[in-house]
A and B are shown apart, each in its own frame.
Chain A
C-alpha cells in the first residue's frame, strides 16, 4: 500500500483540483537567459528561440503560481528540450516550428521552476501560439 501511494504521488507531484486525465508533467528549470518576460505582458513567458508574433510565435501563458510542491522530480533544461526536439532545426530558415511545438506541449502539464536562495517556486504554464 505504501508503495502504491508513493507511486501515485510521483504521478501527481502537484495536486491540481480539476485534473481530468493522467498527463505527464514536465518541470523546466526557469532559465532567465532563455525565458523572457516583459512588463507589458506580465503573464506571458517568451522563449529565446520563439519566432515572435509577427511571424507566428510560441510562448507560455501562466496558469497559476504554486509555492509548495512536493516533488522529487528534477527539472530539465527547456532550451535543451526544445533544441533537441523535432520542432527545432538549427539549419532551417525558421529554426523553430512554433505552432507545432505549442500543439505538442499541450499534452503535458508544465511547470517552470524558479530557484532563489535554494528555495524553489513553481509556475504552472500552458503552451500557446499567436500570430499577427
Chain B
C-alpha cells in the first residue's frame, strides 16, 4: 500500500511538474504564436518567383524578435536555406541571408521578405534590421506573396531606397531610425544660438550591373569625399534630451518629406568625380568657375531628375571599326539604374589643348543630359517639346540633336571658358592669326565629335559651311597642350 502510495505521489509530482512546465512553455508559445500570427499571416514562400526562396528556404516562426522604437513596432524572424548555396564573388560575401520583417506604424502594417547580399568588406549581416551600423550591402525586398518590391542599399547602417518604390519607404525609414552617424552626433557642442559644423562625408560608389531590378554584379568604383559646412541651430530651448538632439541632427542629413515619408539618401543631384590629371583640372575649372552652360545643364538634373553622373578617367578607349583599332576621346554609357557613367580617355586628353579637352567634357555632359531627357517623363514646355520633335525628326540620333539644340549654347560656354581661364591662348591666337578668336571659331569647335557623315545635321550643312567649320576647328591644334593646373 505504502509502495503504491509512494508511486502515486511520485507520478503526481511528475505530472504537476510536467503540467507546470507545459503551462510555462504554453505561455511562451502563446506569445510567440501571437507574434507569429502577426508576421506570418500572408507569407507564402511557394509563390515566390525566385526558385531558391520558393523551394530551398525555410522559415523559423518559433523565434520572433519584436522591437519597438518611436511609433514603430518591428517584428523579425529568420529564414535560412535548407541546402546552403554559396557563390563566388570578389565583392560580395559568398552566402545569402534571408529574413522576414513586419513593421507596424500608424495603424498600418507592412511586411517584407529580405534576401540579403553582404559586401565582402562588411560585417556579417546581424540578422536584424535594427542594428546595421557595421553592415554594408544590398537587400532584395519581396512582399510576403512573392512580389519583388525592389532594392534597398545599406551603407554602414544608412539605408537608401535605390529602386525608388513607395512600398520600400517604410523599410528604409525603419532602418534609418537606428542610424546614427558618430561624426554628427557624438559631440554635443556648447549651448549657443548657432554653431558651424563641418561634415566630411565619405561615400563608396559602386557600379551596379543589373537586369531591370535584378542585381547581377556590384563593382566598386571608388570613393567620393565631400565636405559640407553648415551653420546649425542648437536646440537650447528643447528638452535637452540627448536622444532628441541626436534625432534632430540626423534629420538634417536625411531627406524626409513634410509628412515623414523617407525620400532617399539624397534628393539632390550628385556628380561623382573620379577624373585624374589634366581632365580633372579642366573639369574642375569648368565647374568651379561657374560656367553658366554647365550650371544650366546640371540644374536640369536637380529636383525631380532621378539621375546622377559619375565621370572618370580611363587610360584609353579603343574600338575596332572595320578591322582598324581607333580610340575614342570619351564615351557616355546609357544609365544603369540611377547612374550615368562618363569615361574620359587620359591618352587622348594628354594629346589635346585644354580648350579641346573642355569641349570633350562638355560634349559628354550633353549626352548625359540627353539620356536624362530620354529617361524622364518630361513636362510640356517649349524646350522639351523642341527636344522631342528634334529627336524624332533626326531619327533618334543623339549627335544630330546635339548639333541642332546644343551647339549654340556650347559655343558660348567655350568662349566664356576660354576667355576667363586661358588668356595665354587668346594672346597666342591673336598674335598668330592677327585677330581674336571669333564666335565662328568657338562654334566650329562645338561641332567637334559631330562632324561625321552619318550625322544628319552635319550632312544638312552646305559644303562651304562644312569646309569653314573644319578649317576653323583645326586652329585649336595650335594651342599649347599643357594643363593649366600647376600640379
Contact = CB atoms under 8 A, between A and B. Distances in A.
Contacts of B449: 132
Contacts of B452: 54-55
B454 interface: yes
Contacts of B215: 18, 20
B306 to A, nearest CB: 15
Nearest to A105: B211
Interface string A39-68: 011000000000111111000010110000
Given A53-B319, A54-B452, A130-B333, A20 B212 contact: yes
A92 B87 contact: no
Nearest to B321: A52
A25 B283 CA distance: 42
Contacts of A38: 318-320, 325
Given A15-B51, A41-B319, A55-B397, A132 B331 contact: yes
A22 B449 CA distance: 41
Nearest to A56: B398
Nearest to A98: B396
Interface string A1-20: 00000001000100111111
A20 B50 contact: yes
A131 interface: yes
B51 A97 contact: no
B172 interface: no
Interface in A102-119: 102-103, 106-109
A24 B305 CA distance: 30
Interface residues of A, number: 42
B319 to A, nearest CB: 5
Nearest to A55: B454
Interface string B323-345: 00100111111100000000000
A97 B148 contact: no
Interface string B438-467: 000000000001001011100000000000
A77 interface: no
A30 B284 CA distance: 45
A107 to B, nearest CB: 7
A23 B51 contact: no
Contacts of A21: 49, 147-148, 212-214
A93 B395 contact: yes
B246 to A, nearest CB: 35
The B contact surface, by secondary structure, is mixed
Contact of A131 (B50, B115, B331): B331
Contact of A130 (B115, B211, B216, B331): B331
Given A17-B87, A40-B325, A54-B452, A97 B216 contact: no
B396 A109 contact: no
A104 B85 CA distance: 32
Interface string A72-99: 0000000000000000000011100101
Given A55-B452, A93-B456, A132-B328, A19 B51 contact: yes
Interface in B392-432: 395-399
B374 interface: yes
Nearest to A103: B334
B485 interface: no
A128 interface: yes
A130 B318 CA distance: 13
Given A15-B51, A54-B328, A131-B399, 5 more contacts: A8-B54, A18-B140, A20-B140, A93-B454, A131-B332
Interface of A: 8, 12, 15-23, 36, 38, 40-41, 51-56, 61, 63-64, 92-94, 97, 99-100, 102-103, 106-109, 126, 128-132
User: Which 4 A-B pairs give the minimum distances between C-beta atoms?
Assistant: A40-B318, A129-B334, A20-B148, A38-B320
19 contacts: A12-B51, A16-B216, A18-B216, A20-B50, A20-B140, A20-B215, A38-B319, A40-B319, A52-B319, A53-B317, A53-B328, A53-B331, A54-B319, A64-B216, A92-B395, A102-B334, A109-B211, A131-B331, A132-B329
Interface of B: 49-52, 54, 85, 87, 96, 115, 117, 140, 147-148, 209, 211-217, 317-321, 325, 328-334, 367, 374, 395-399, 449, 452, 454-456
